[in-house]
Chain A
Amino acid sequence: MAPQRAGGTPASIGHLLSAKEIVIACGPGGVGKTTTAAAVATMAAAEHGGRVLVLTVDPARRLADALGLKGIGNQEVRIDDAVFKQAGITPRGELWAAMLDTKQSWDDLIRRHAPDAATREKILANPLYQNISGRFVQSHDYIAMERLYEIHSEGKYDLIVVDTPPTRNALDFLDAPQRLADFFSSRLLRWLIAPYRSRLVNVATRPFYTVADRILGTQFLADISEFFILFQSMYEGFVTRSDAVTRLLSDRRTTFMVVSTLEATPLREAEFFSSELTARDLHLGAIVLNKVLPDYLRDSATARLAQRMAEQVDTLGDGLTDDPVVAARVLREVAESFMHFGVVARREAEQQNELKGAPDILVTVPFFDADIYDITGLIRLGQQVWD
């Protein structure tokens, strides 16, 4: 049952998404973030209509396969209506999907910002650049937000659902645009790209270069300098751009959907994340709690019954099966198992109660027996969180 909000409208993800253009799914790893993002995007396409894009990072292969997304990359592709039909649904709108290709996105960014062809080619060929774009972890964070901005400004979609990359720190991608801007406007960067001769003349910075030379070697420093000089030519473009990305994240049309499970560690991270979003004045729209165990596991009368069963296994099954020894074993296992899961279910329910600073929309998704790997599964999950 959806909670009522001031103004009498029910708090639901369906309502939330009808008011937003960008939903950023974030939270700890391993909680079903990608699947949840795909599920709400699917629901939005099916029920709200319009063009909905899910920008994903690393979907489970089976899910990608089932949606016909094999081998997709930066280019958005439309999910075939036939895929919906198989699930007995005629969507009102269109569902599109794209995967984040970090390297490709960086190359595109350089192409856009490079002042001329020569600079562009030099940067693309620079070994340091190749390192940054290909392997550098934080570049992933930045480029996800950059891609989001790019796609949003093209104006092709009514709703964009973003699945955030797994980060060392769930907040890295929020800070990435600002960090990049800081990086380009820093004094230290200017030091690094100062011509070699003037460095040795400058008394203040001389010790720094002497030491840096000894550690890194002159050639490497020269390589770095060249790289930064090239990048410097794109300074304005980059800073303007990352400011725009930062603005987009705090726009009223953007909301954050924190995804977690009720396990202690992910929940603590989700809680931390929620409080940080609020502290940054970003819109925390909803918390989705996945893999919630069924209510009946918490029933204390049943727990006592299970305990009685465990105590009477030798007589309880008398005459009911062809093998009393095995029956006793089965009854013990069954009773023990109930008590095991009962403890987990109770702990998790308690942890949900202790959740601090939760938004109006807090939805739970039951534990599904099987992994979700097709549109039917996505819709089933989506319906759980929608109304």
Chain B
Amino acid sequence: MNPPGPDLLALKLVFVTGKGGVGKTTVAAALAQLAAENGRSVLACEVDAKGDLAALFEAAPTDFVPREIAPGVASMSMDTEASLREYLKLHLRIPVVGRIGPLAKAFDFVATAAPGVREILTVGKLCYEVRERHYDLVVVDAPASGHIIGQLAAPQAINSLVKVGLIRNQTDWMLDILSDAGQTGLIAVTTPEEMPVNETLELTARVKEETTVRLSAVVVNRVLPELFGQREEEVFEQLRQANAEALLSERAKGSVAPVFEAARLAVTLRRTEAGHLQRLQAGLPPDLPVLLLPELFTRTHGVRTTHQMAQALGEELGH
């Protein structure tokens, strides 16, 4: 039904975003795992530094220096001050670390005043990893959809604010990487619910208008299984007739009423979801792949889930 999956694994830099609570980190972890299983060396970077990404591989929280947390998957947590230090070391060859200390602090204030500065250090580090080809693929557990635009648009924002200087010189090559659809992509994660779908549709429009990054796919997480087709629905109604239900209860040695009630609930939930899915599909560009990941009833997080989600994602992508 969907167009063939995009080759996400062929990209160099993938940002994963979505409204809070939709499973953005889980999808980022699954993508990293899938890429690693397909022989890529992956850097999974957590921008919000909550430690959730490493936890999805049962690893201790990471810091700015990448560490292998699973075979083929290295992980790091973004730290803008550390990023600044690294940047200064690379570009200014500042000898005394003591002088960077207060500078980093001051930078914090400058960053507070001039949005884009903090973001450029984040995006800059990610682009740097891509440019240096330390890994085949950099997967970013990016900020929630409300904030991702600011991050992806940071190089342009800096370009318009800073006319000269080292930072200005740096934004051009970053823009080259970010604007290349063959290298950089964005995945918007959503669930089949009203607000996440609304936010995804808004995000799609804003990404196009305000950034140079291409949206590669929308991932719909926690999709409930389709319980019945139309024919099944009719037969279900026959089974729910009072006399049929009574006979079933007798044969099964217990009232089947709550089981049927649960099925009715599942059908209603699925139907509500289907409506939102339809709205999502209708609002997205027709050639944008929409990947569906199932609701896993048994577990919600941890490495077991990461592996299951990687498998589901792989099936959707045709790997």
Contacts and interface: CB of A to CB of B under 8 A. Distances in A.
Interface in A59-81: 60-62
B155 interface: no
Contacts of A224: 110, 113-114
Contacts of A333: 227-228, 232, 263
A198 interface: no
Contacts of A266: 21
* Contact-size category for A: 35 or more
A220 B163 contact: yes
Contacts of A323: 231, 235
A381 to B, nearest CB: 14
A25 to B, nearest CB: 15
Interface string B262-303: 110110110010000000000000000000000001101100
A29 B191 CA distance: 13
Contact of A338 (B92, B162, B263, B300): B263
Contacts of B227: 333-334, 337
B150 A137 contact: yes
Nearest to A180: B112
B248 to A, nearest CB: 6
Interface residues of B, number: 74
B21 A128 contact: no
B238 A329 contact: no
A168 interface: yes
A192 B106 contact: yes
Contacts of B102: 188, 208
B185 interface: no
B109 interface: yes
Given A321-B239, A337-B266, A341-B265, A264 B106 contact: no
B67 to A, nearest CB: 23
B318 interface: no
A369 B272 CA distance: 8
A330 B260 CA distance: 10
Nearest to A59: B195
Contact of B235 (A189, A306, A327): A327
Nearest to A325: B235
Interface stretch (B7-15, B132-140, B249-257, B309-317): B249-257
A263 interface: yes
Interface stretch (B31-39, B58-66, B165-173, B212-220): B165-173
Given A322-B238, A334-B236, A312 B252 contact: yes
Contacts of B109: 183, 186, 188-189, 192
Contacts of B157: 131
Given A131-B115, A320-B239, A330-B232, 16 more contacts: A131-B116, A137-B147, A166-B146, A208-B99, A224-B110, A299-B258, A305-B252, A305-B254, A312-B251, A323-B231, A323-B235, A326-B231, A327-B238, A333-B263, A338-B262, A371-B193
19 contacts: A29-B19, A30-B19, A30-B195, A60-B195, A166-B20, A188-B106, A208-B99, A211-B92, A211-B103, A215-B88, A215-B165, A265-B52, A297-B258, A297-B262, A309-B252, A312-B252, A323-B231, A326-B235, A338-B262
Interface of A: 28-31, 60-62, 127-128, 131-132, 135-138, 166, 168-169, 183, 186, 188-189, 191-192, 207-208, 211-220, 223-224, 227-228, 263-266, 294, 296-297, 299, 301-302, 304-306, 308-309, 312, 315-317, 320-323, 326-327, 329-331, 333-335, 337-338, 340-344, 347, 367, 369-371
Nearest 10 interchain pairs by C-beta: A29-B20, A30-B21, A217-B165, A305-B254, A340-B297, A217-B164, A334-B263, A321-B238, A320-B244, A296-B258
